[in-house]
Chains A and B, each alone.
Chain A
């Protein structure tokens, strides 16, 4: 064993002894050695089809939801809340079916997170009412006494900036989200419409994004479109762009769990 290791090691040392006298050679050696792992692990994720499940009926985020997602990113919510339910029994019991890759296929960037100072949010949509979210964001400890979450009362007063939404959707299309020309053109109108039920604009949103699109006055204030509207709209769609994770039959889930443990 030792002899074999020595045989393996001596060429490395001999090669290194040459390299450490040539700065460019050393630089090239470093780049070569450091490239292998990334190429082997990342490149196939784009080419192997099984990496991402198929969910043909999955829809894209509406402009209002995408605006809410941008606020979620801006405020750093992902630093305390994950959006990735692992294939562990207690997580499935606590949060719902484990997350599938396809569920974040339109997430540029992904917000899987790395720390749960607060609970996972991957299946938050529909779990609480809009009113609960608004009250909780305005004063978390009024709703959850022991919460350590910062309050976001200012969102309710901040008018949502919608003029840049067409450009934002267009950028998202460039990176692969299938927004149509009509969606991009009408982004501002659709953002307004989704928070104003029973208007022509609202009907247009449902026409473009599907009958199931949640059209509500999310922040409870019908006066104007606020950042609160956008963020709550986003929180209410989490885990509901596709129901493919729920559709998986129990036997498969169980097998998956056993394989993982």
Chain B
């Protein structure tokens, strides 16, 4: 009896060896979604932030509506919309690209607000210092303001990255075989809950590595 109970919660080595391959395959999907989202949403977020603070009202307002929509509705709803809703407009996507599009658009909106706050926290003397040296607006942004913004936004961006690791589990809902789905399949098939523990360890390992990476980045940018 005792043996059976522990088997349900704490996985044995032999059981782990049976489920490890599908769970690793799920992790690959999770990581793919994570990296695609990070790599595309950061530059998009910078552009959206710059558009948001643009002096052109129309652009700034349009981007404001975009941020409101993407931050104001659930990410899962956005995933559903891209996957199930867009076919109504003649755009049919596989589940993985659909998930990527929803994630990139959603995360770019959040990151844009972080970047905007970072950009606006830079002293206006920096703009003036650059201007009297003859810098154009874009030269000022690119060479003077954005590099200083990086250091300030690292902690909140680290937060977003950790949230993203866990948000990837949402795509389970459109049938993508990521880590949580692989876990749930094992749980249902074998009538044990121990795969959840394995999955938790996987997620913790990923967020641990991310935290370490951001610590390193923060230290590297702390030289001035």
Do the two chains belong together in a single complex? no
> Which residues of A approach B to under 8 Å, CB–CB?
none
